Amino acid sequence: MWKFLVPFAAFVLLVVLFAFGLDPKRDIHALPSPLIGKAAPVFALTDVLDANHAVSNASLKGQVYVLNVWGTWCAACRDEHPELLAIARQHVVPIIGLVYMDQRDKAKQWLEQLGNPYNAVAFDTDGRTAIDWGVYGAPETFLVDARGTVVYKFISPMTPEIWQHEFLPRIAAARRAGA
């Protein structure tokens, strides 16, 4: 009898795990970030376009800004790039790029060919800064308020709907809170 009961119990357990794990209402972009509500990790890196120039988020203190993590090796980053260009044309907030685990020449070429939506582009050669930010991969986009607190994290390519429904309301709230 046990030889039938144990496999049956294991099967029931797997069915229950799959039922909860494959919940169609679950938001696949909602990976929790321990940074939400905490100070954004400080970084000072070289600029992709000018290695003699530093890019630091310390210079953004007092401003609401977006940090977008990307790489030329990332197909989804290429998909999101036109949307970032459109967002940049709106001049809502500064957009800082963080080139993650890439080559400077490839990143420069990418920006020259596809356009540059960023106010500054930090070059994270070894990925240490991305690790500090809790990056899982690319693209990932963070919203930081004027106090330097991470307000929101979005994983996946930016879309007009996400910008409109997730970022713009949070940007407005961050500005009201900082005023």
Q: Say if 3 falls within a structural domain.
A: no
Q: Say if 79 falls within a structural domain.
A: yes
Q: Say if 19 falls within a structural domain.
A: no
Q: Say if 41 falls within a structural domain.
A: yes
Number of domains in the chain: 1
Q: Say if 106 falls within a structural domain.
A: yes
CATH number (domain holding residue 64): 3.40.30.10
C-alpha distances in angstroms, 10 versus 3, 21, 22, 23? 12, 16, 18, 20
Whole-number pLDDT of residue 148:
96
Q: To which H or E segment does residue 144 belong? A: strand 140-144
In the predicted model, is pLDDT for residue 51 greater than 60? Answer: yes
Across the chain, mean pLDDT equals: 89
In the predicted model, is pLDDT for residue 6 greater than 70? Answer: no
- Rounded Cα distance between 137 and 166, Å, is 20
pTM for the predicted model, two decimal places: 0.83
Q: Say if 18 falls within a structural domain.
A: no
User: Quick check: 129 and 67 in contact, CB under 8 A?
Assistant: no
Whole-number pLDDT of residue 85:
98
Q: Say if 139 falls within a structural domain.
A: yes
Model confidence at 34, in pLDDT bands (50, 70, 90)? confident
Q: Say if 170 falls within a structural domain.
A: yes
Q: Which domain holds residue 35?
A: 29-178
Q: What is the pLDDT of residues 54-93, one digit of tens each?
A: 999 999 999 999 999 999 999 999 999 999 999 999 999 9
Model confidence at 20, in pLDDT bands (50, 70, 90)? low
